Chains A and B, each alone.
Chain A
Amino acid sequence: MGERVRTGLGSGAVLQSEARVAGFSSSVEIASQSSLGVAFERVEKRYGGLLALCRVSLRIEAGEFVSLFGPNGSGKTTLLRMAALLVRPSAGSVAHPGGEGLAVEDVRRQIGLVGHKTLVYDELTAEENLAFFARLYGLDHAEERIAQVLDSVGLGKRAGDTAGTFSRGMRQRLAIARALITEPRLLLFDEPATGLDRQGRDWLEATLDGLHRAGATLVVSTHDETFSAISGRSVWLRAGRVASDTAGQAAAAPVEPEVRGSR
């Protein structure tokens, strides 16, 4: 694991990023009791005549690392956005085990989303973007945290550059930094590897692994098998339904369910 990362970023950066992730983890272990899962109970989402999610029941416990597979249009993005409390279900309910008794605002605080788009302002610098979100979330020691997170995603040197000037890979890192700045306990990634090169993917895998070890709950949607080696559980969505789920099985190589008949 460490070797793959070293090839990508250079040893200095590796040590730094591992140390930074470790720094993240130590502060997070203290808070690990407030780890957050997500549970969908017979959830449906309808957009006019289109049924995006149909009777999805899925429970992800705090601390799990789940890979979410499925073709385009299978409902992965809708599911993730629902977990992030951005989308209301048309039927059924979404709950966050581990967050009972917390006010909605406090649950929101603990959720981080890295979506299809970067969720940052192109006109602001990396630092300004993170400072904005830090202030919005009411974080203390913002400057320290910002510097730390930017370093850990490898953007330390570009902190003062406008986000609009970043390459695809750097934008993705900034998007991740934005999600991490608030130290969320539940992290939702929507196809985070798209547009990343080999280096970037290696770095991403290392980061996800580090976050998982630090105790965060991760749900990562993806097209290919990239993260199945490190994630404990794989869930397949097809046409808005859970087609298969490796929960409870040994962490063997996951197999995509056969395509059954045509519609």
Chain B
Amino acid sequence: MKRNAGAWGLAWLATAIVLALAGYAIFFVAPRELTMGEIQRIFYFHAASGMLADFAFFVSFMGCVGYLASRQSRWDWLAVAAAEVALAFNTVVLITGPIWAKPVWGIWWTWDARLTLQFILELLYVAYLLLRVLVTEPDRRAMISGVFGIFAFLDVPLSYFSIRWWRTEHPQPVIGGGPGSGLDPRMWHVFLFASIGLLALMALMIRDRYRLEQARWELAETAAEFEATAEEEVETKGASR
């Protein structure tokens, strides 16, 4: 553990540097967008966070499946770690959306396809975390939240399509232009660079959260073991008297 601490510390440092560079690139290297002006730069955070949140939700889903398939706690640790980090990135999407929308379109919120989907995801995964808080026994909690996590993720494609069809019926201003929507190549490079930095950050955050969950579990195990052996000692001492 101690030996590796150096390596991970380096990883954090590297990520910090990449993100600092990305920040610089976003504000000073990427060209200014024609119609929207400076505020458009927030797109890099908004779209990148959106992609990464979706990816992290998928990782959480894999954690749920892994736990139910193997009943090994480490999959459950992955599921909750990825879900929490995904929720953080998702919240960034929901906050940057309005920040972008207000100067450009004059409205704070619109039920644009991406925002709506991320909103539903936010609700689903807050429910996931709330479910975990309210089921106290660890094995039961892992199992129940595992099933819920799978159901929540299955809902994503269904929500995606129904929202998209809904939006074609009732069009509204579109906020988050995807990477493919006519980007200048320099913008594209900056976007990629920023995404890589944020991806590294996300991976490190998930790892840390995973380790926290692992530590909690190991603590509970050790406490139970201690209790068990303490009792045994009392029993054997009594017998040998």
B224: chain A residues at CB < 8 Å are: 46, 49-51
B169: chain A residues at CB < 8 Å are: none
Nearest A residue to B225 via CB reads: A51
B168: chain A residues at CB < 8 Å are: none
Near A by CB (< 8 A), chain B positions 214-241 give 220, 223-224, 227-228, 230-231, 234-235, 237-239, 241
Render A166-203 as a binary contact track against B, CB cut-off 8 A, 1 for contact.
00000000000000000000000000000000000000
| CB-CB under 8 A for A47 and B235, given A54-B228, A263-B230 | no
B181: chain A residues at CB < 8 Å are: none
Interface of B is mostly: helix
A47: chain B residues at CB < 8 Å are: 137, 139
B136: chain A residues at CB < 8 Å are: 48
B173 is an interface residue with CB less than 8 A from chain A: no
Tell me the bound Cα distance from A49 to B217 in angstroms.
10
A54: chain B residues at CB < 8 Å are: 228, 231
**Contact residue range for chain B?**
10 to 19
Contact A49 B231 (CB under 8 A): no
**Contact residue range for chain A?**
10 to 19
B138 is an interface residue with CB less than 8 A from chain A: yes
Tell me the bound Cα distance from A47 to B136 in angstroms.
9
A157 is an interface residue with CB less than 8 A from chain B: no
Tell me the bound Cα distance from A46 to B217 in angstroms.
13
Contact A49 B223 (CB under 8 A): yes
B139: chain A residues at CB < 8 Å are: 46-47, 90
| CB-CB under 8 A for A260 and B235, given A46-B224, A48-B137, A51-B224 | yes
| CB-CB under 8 A for A49 and B220, given A260-B235, A261-B237, A261-B238 | yes
Nearest B residue to A90 via CB reads: B139
Tell me the bound Cα distance from A90 to B223 in angstroms.
16
Provide 20 A-B residue pairs closer than 8 Å at the C-beta atoms, listed in order of the A residue: A48-B137, A48-B220, A49-B220, A49-B223, A49-B224, A50-B224, A51-B224, A51-B227, A55-B228, A90-B139, A239-B231, A241-B231, A241-B235, A260-B235, A260-B239, A260-B241, A261-B234, A263-B230, A263-B231, A263-B234
Chain A residues near B (Cβ < 8 Å) = 46-51, 54-55, 90, 239, 241, 260-261, 263
